[in-house]
């Protein structure tokens, strides 16, 4: 677990001693005697958002917004409770270049676009190939991640994934991911994650695969696909219940939930189709307001409607690639080095005071 001093504790110490104490080794150096303006800014940030002791990011592979809406709260009680208990949108966006699993998930943990030539992570494949062997080889340059950022601050991380292709991350950041569990049985995978909740970890990533598997086998929005979305809802419910079973853990954990892509018919790889690039993005926990729309509390971000917004647009939509820096912000750590999405760490989970 990160051995850091919370913002509130740091502020108290600063007022008493005249020095702002920084508990996380990855934090930027600041003057030992902060100005009154700096102190006010820290106080305001502390009042606006409580930090988290741990962040759990969940990605439901291939879960389409159309399915979430069609099934509704009666058939997806856990996802709808999740939204009611936190901040969410059903109009977030994937990476713009591709609506494919491994490229989008790698964007989630690096905070980068895909295209290497424009600063992206370079992962354009979606299988178990070993060449390129790492994200860094794909990009042609060093690529940091939420895992390396947490590790550099003395924290602990874990990855739980339902597809073997995620071993790419372990090869790319071998010293920064303390536990990697790959299991295509999603129920067993969730069992293993729940068992791990007793460990002091600052960041966990959970990948669930039922909708994507069913979509490829039977088609998106087919009866088997909708059953798979309901299965994922139950799995999420188990995870949320396990986090909430311990009052201390519940108070200190923020859960983020999104998807890598939606889908239509037999596939999901047309990055120009709304059903493929529109996804959910949700957050819940003590650091999150209840029942709020992410766009309503984030005026610097823009609801894209049906648009496939470019990376150059002044006001961006909420993207799944914001997971990394949002998680680090909640952990009171700086953004991933050379990342792009939410690099200012200004995606709010609480309304402005």
Helix residue ranges, H only, 282-334: 323-330
Instruction: Assess whether 16 and 137 both reside in one domain.
Output: no
Q: 307 in a domain, yes or no?
A: yes
HSE-up (13 A, CA, CB side) for residue 161: 19
Positive or negative: CA dihedral 237, 239, 240, 242 = positive
Instruction: Assess whether 93 and 127 both reside in one domain.
Output: yes
Compute mean pLDDT per 10 residues along the chain, 353 residues long, and list them.
46 32 33 37 41 97 99 99 99 99 99 99 98 98 99 99 99 99 99 98 99 99 99 99 98 99 97 99 98 98 98 98 99 98 98 90
Q: 338 in a domain, yes or no?
A: no
Q: 189 in a domain, yes or no?
A: yes
Enter the tokens of residue 80: 């709808």
Q: Give me the domain span that covers residue 167.
A: 50-330
pTM given for the model: 0.88
Q: Phi, psi at residue 279, to the nearest 5°?
A: -140, 170
Q: 106 in a domain, yes or no?
A: yes
Q: How far apart are CA 8 and CA 76, in angstroms?
A: 37
Instruction: Assess whether 271 and 135 both reside in one domain.
Output: yes
**How many other C-beta atoms lie within 10 A of the C-beta of residue 1?**
13
Instruction: Assess whether 186 and 261 both reside in one domain.
Output: yes
Instruction: Assess whether 242 and 204 both reside in one domain.
Output: yes
Q: 178 in a domain, yes or no?
A: yes
Instruction: Assess whether 41 and 111 both reside in one domain.
Output: no
CA 138 distance to own-chain centroid: 22
CA 126 distance to own-chain centroid: 20
Instruction: Assess whether 316 and 251 both reside in one domain.
Output: yes
Residue 2: predicted pLDDT: 73
For strands 157-161 and 203-208, give the pairing: parallel
Residue 39: predicted pLDDT: 35
Q: CA torsion 219→224→230→233, rounded to 10°?
A: -60
What is the CATH number for 251?
Answer: 3.40.720.10
Residue 229 CB burial class (10 angstroms; 0-12, 13-18, ≥19): buried
Query: Strands of 253-258's sheet, edge to edge?
Result: 179-182, 157-161, 203-208, 54-60, 253-258, 278-285, 86-93, 292-293
Q: 346 in a domain, yes or no?
A: no
Residue 96: predicted pLDDT: 98
Instruction: Assess whether 169 and 209 both reside in one domain.
Output: yes
Residue 51: predicted pLDDT: 82
Q: 312 in a domain, yes or no?
A: yes
DSSP state of 116: G
Instruction: Assess whether 93 and 14 both reside in one domain.
Output: no
């Amino acid at each position: 677990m990160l051995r850091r001093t919370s913002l509130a504790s740091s502020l108290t110490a600063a007022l008493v001693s005249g020095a702002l104490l920084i508990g996380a080794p990855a934090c930027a150096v600041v003057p030992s005697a902060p100005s009154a303006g700096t102190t006010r800014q820290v106080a305001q940030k502390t009042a606006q958002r409580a930090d988290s002791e741990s962040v759990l990011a969940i990605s439901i592979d291939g879960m389409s917004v159309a399915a979430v809406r069609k099934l509704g709260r009666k058939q997806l009680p856990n996802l709808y409770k999740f939204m009611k208990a936190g901040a969410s949108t059903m109009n977030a966006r994937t990476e713009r270049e591709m609506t494919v699993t491994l490229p989008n998930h790698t964007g989630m943990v690096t905070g980068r676009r895909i295209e290497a030539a424009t600063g992206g992570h370079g992962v354009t494949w979606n299988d178990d190939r070993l060449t390129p062997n790492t994200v860094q080889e794909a990009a042609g340059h060093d690529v940091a991640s939420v895992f390396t950022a947490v590790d550099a601050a003395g924290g602990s991380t874990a990855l739980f994934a339902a597809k073997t292709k995620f071993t790419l991350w372990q090869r790319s950041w071998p010293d920064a991911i303390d536990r990697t569990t790959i299991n295509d049985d999603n129920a067993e995978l969730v069992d293993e994650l729940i068992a791990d909740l007793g460990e002091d970890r600052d960041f966990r990533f959970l990948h669930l695969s039922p909708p994507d598997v069913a979509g490829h086998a039977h088609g998106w929005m087919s009866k088997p696909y909708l059953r798979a979305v309901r299965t994922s809802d139950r799995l999420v419910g188990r995870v949320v219940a396990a986090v909430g079973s311990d009052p201390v853990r519940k108070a200190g954990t923020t859960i983020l939930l999104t998807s890598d892509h939606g889908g239509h018919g037999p596939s999901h790889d047309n990055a120009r189709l709304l059903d493929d690039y529109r996804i959910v993005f949700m957050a819940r926990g003590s650091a999150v307001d209840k029942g709020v729309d992410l766009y309503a509390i984030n005026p610097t971000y823009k609801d894209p409607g049906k648009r496939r917004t470019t990376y150059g647009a002044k006001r961006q939509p909420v993207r799944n690639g914001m997971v990394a820096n949002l998680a680090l912000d909640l952990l009171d750590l700086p953004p991933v080095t050379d990342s792009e999405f939410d690099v200012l760490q200004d995606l709010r989970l609480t309304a402005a005071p």
